[in-house]
Structure 1
Amino acid sequence: MKTFDSNEHPHRRYNPLTGEWILVSPHRSKRPWQGQKEAVSGNTLPAYDPECYLCAGNVRSNGEQNADYKDVYIFDNDFPALLNDEMPSEINTDPLFRYRPERGINRVVCFSPEHNLTIPEMELDAIEKIVSAWTQQYLDLGGKDFINHVQIFENKGAVMGCSNPHPHGQIWAQSSIPTQVEKTQKNLDRYYQKNKSSLLQDYLEHELKRKERIVLENEHFVVLVPFWAIWPYETMIISKRHFGSLISMSNEEKSAFAAAMKSITVKYDNLFETSFPYSSGIHQAPTDKAAHPEWHFHMHFYPPLLRSASVKKFMVGYEMLGEAQRDITPEKSAEILRQLPDTHYKKR
């Protein structure tokens, strides 16, 4: 009888943040690929694009003009998914056709006036300004009486649905707790009530001892491939100290967080020597005015690339009907990322 080897044999892993399972099939990583390949852009972007609606001084599609900004620039999204209007509605009690109005605010965060500059190629002080801007937005939006959650995120690259290559992210603030956050909320709280400690702090202590999935760390943050990762090179940035949101960070922690973001995104770009696409986002305590000792600050990176700059991971078939599945193990992807240079490939 064969002995089980998690690097060779199929198995399922549990995600304690969401309460969901993922199927891991490491033997499938050896299969040949004859599927779709994404086009890799070889175009060199200019530092300023007169047609870009996010570049400094340009007029956006709604006729408003951007300020001649020099670092971070924030404005209300011209095409918001949520509206800042209170909509009275009849109480809906039908168990099969439930709905309710959702109120919120969407903002765009331009990271830099330079059209061709992404986070891995920015100077550290420029990234620190982004972190400071995020902090202020969390305070500003979260302080409104109808906002109960503030989601800060970035979609980088056309393959992730980004409609403009200018370096930017978004903030969606809304009156409800979104589904994925609500799942995490319930599991963090259940663990905290049972153990009187942070789930992610306990998890991080074990990861630091094992050192199997650690990609990099500094004094205040750890970047790792989660044990339950779905995407091939998925990572999390987790704070070493237990706190719930950006507003609890010291200045030293803000600098260390910016450094961690730069370091992992440089490694991403170096992996296939391309501007690496991803969706990233911060998970932090809701702004519903309740105490949330169970929350532990962390940031997710979900990159789609699988084998090269042109081959991506698709979520189809079994993954849509059954559960998430991956081929390369989290331990292997962490090893690959860990061994990559810390200097951006364009500067070597």
Structure 2
Amino acid sequence: MSNLEFTHRRRNQLTGDWVLVSPHRNNRPWKGAAEASAAAPTADHDPNCALCPGNTRANGEHNPDYADTFVFANDFGALIPTQSDSAEISAEEELFTAEVANGECRVICFSPVHSKTLPEMTQAEIGKVVDTWQQHYSELSASYNCVHIFENKGEIMGCSQPHPHGQVWAHDHWSSEIAAEDRNQQLYFDKHQSALLADYVDREIAEQVRVVIDSAHWLVVVPFWAAWPFETLLLSKDPVASMADLDAGQKDDLAGVIKELTTRYDNVFKCSFPYSMGWHNAPKNLDSDSHWRLHAHFYPPLLRSATVKKHMVGYEMLAESQRDLTAETAAKILRDVSDIHYKKG
């Protein structure tokens, strides 16, 4: 579908949610509130950083002098493997429904270098991160049905720790996003006998207007239903449903795609581009995962500059998402910037 330069709504096929698109609002004289631009760290090692090699964390444990990635159980994890014997909830209360939630939270340090974010790492170094994602996904999915691998980058996204790192949260229950995506992918599969995201990949490649990166095994698009200004969807072009399914060639290609995408992000406003990103894998306790396709979401908040962000408030919180910049325009901006990091230009 070509660019729609009039007010309209688009449906997110994965979740069933809608987004209101209002291109004419780009002509508003008010350009949004400016946020303070956090200075990116420049030192290779910070003696006060809880994630740097050799340093001591808040719980008294010492980090090893790691050379690539380093993983540890989150010292303040939102989930714990076992609850106390008193953690019992009645299932009979309709208006106050709750359930016990067990799980594990881990932290993944991407690099021993304090100032080195993903776009400034080599493809081989990012490949170590991909290997670590796969290793810990495989370990945790042996015990839990739902495993979330994600990264919050930048203070503007609530990340108080500038050392490059991500997290893994694993639990038995299906998170709300996974449940919605599973439901809609299954409905599509039942109707068409093909995977929703497999067909979506084919359509996006055919149309090209929202494609940012097209590699041997991966496709990056600004999805038709994008809510955040420069939101992207990273999709496997191969029929894989989880991180555990990736072979060496797919992982190496993925490392290159992540480097290119995050570099393009940084180059849009010549800054360390903040975002929240995360992988969506098929739940482990499905009878069949034929309707699933492994994918990752990138949700960056920046709108018009390094200090002007999109605020999801008011109508967005109480009604549905709204955006001004069309997905097609955002994709063109990302395609047109260099894939060589601006610091190396």
TM-score by length of 2: 0.97
Where 2:303 maps in the other structure, the secondary structure is strand
Q: Give the whole-Å Cα distance in 2 for the aligned partners of 1:288 and 1:149.
A: 9
2:340 equivalent to 1:339: no
What's 1:293 paired with? 290
Unaligned runs of 5+ in 2: none
What's 1:66 paired with? 63
1:43 is displaced (CA, Å) by 5.3
What's 1:262 paired with? 259
1:93 is displaced (CA, Å) by 1.5
Q: Give the whole-Å Cα distance in 2 for the aligned partners of 1:43 and 1:184.
A: 35
* Aligned residue identity for 1:141: L
Q: Give the whole-Å Cα distance in 1 for the aligned partners of 2:80 and 2:24.
A: 47
String of CA shifts for 1:161-209, please: whole Å, max 9, x gaps. 0010000000000110000111001011111122121100101101101
Where 2:225 maps in the other structure, the secondary structure is coil
2:42 equivalent to 1:45: yes
What's 1:164 paired with? 161
What's 2:79 paired with? 82
Change (3 A) 1:318 1:289: closer
1:1-348 equivalences under 5 Å are 7-33=4-30, 35-42=32-39, 44-87=41-84, 88-144=87-143, 147-288=144-285, 290-348=287-345
Q: Give the whole-Å Cα distance in 2 for the aligned partners of 1:165 and 1:244.
A: 31
Q: Give the whole-Å Cα distance in 2 for the aligned partners of 1:196 and 1:115.
A: 48
- Decide which moves more: 44-53 or 223-232: 44-53
Where 1:13 maps in the other structure, the secondary structure is strand
Q: Give the whole-Å Cα distance in 2 for the aligned partners of 1:249 and 1:56.
A: 29
1:217 is displaced (CA, Å) by 1.2
* Count, aligned residues: 342
Q: Give the whole-Å Cα distance in 2 for the aligned partners of 1:160 and 1:28.
A: 24
String of CA shifts for 1:278-337, please: whole Å, max 9, x gaps. 000001111226431111011110000000000000001111111000000000000010
- Decide which moves more: 281-290 or 259-268: 281-290
* Aligned residue identity for 1:78: D
Where 1:325 maps in the other structure, the secondary structure is strand
Where 2:206 maps in the other structure, the secondary structure is helix
String of CA shifts for 1:242-264, please: whole Å, max 9, x gaps. 21011111211001111111111
Unaligned runs of 5+ in 1: none
Instruction: Say if 2:3 and 2:328, in contact at 8 Å, map to a contact too.
Output: no
Where 1:169 maps in the other structure, the secondary structure is strand
* Aligned residue identity for 2:119: P
1:123 is displaced (CA, Å) by 0.4
Q: Give the whole-Å Cα distance in 2 for the aligned partners of 1:143 and 1:289.
A: 13
Where 1:75 maps in the other structure, the secondary structure is strand
Q: Give the whole-Å Cα distance in 1 for the aligned partners of 2:209 and 2:10.
A: 15
1:216 is displaced (CA, Å) by 1.3
Change (3 A) 1:67 1:321: same
Q: Give the whole-Å Cα distance in 2 for the aligned partners of 1:263 and 1:70.
A: 23
Instruction: Say if 2:40 and 2:115, in contact at 8 Å, map to a contact too.
Output: no
1:92 is displaced (CA, Å) by 2.4
1:9 is displaced (CA, Å) by 1.3
1:152 is displaced (CA, Å) by 0.1
TM-score by length of 1: 0.96
- Decide which moves more: 29-38 or 94-103: 29-38
Q: Give the whole-Å Cα distance in 1 for the aligned partners of 2:31 and 2:102.
A: 45
Instruction: Say if 2:23 and 2:326, in contact at 8 Å, map to a contact too.
Output: yes
1:86 is displaced (CA, Å) by 3.8
- Decide which moves more: 42-51 or 233-242: 42-51
Q: Give the whole-Å Cα distance in 2 for the aligned partners of 1:41 and 1:100.
A: 39
Where 1:311 maps in the other structure, the secondary structure is coil
Aligned sequence identity (%): 47
Change (3 A) 1:43 1:143: closer
**RMSD of equivalent CA atoms:** 1.3
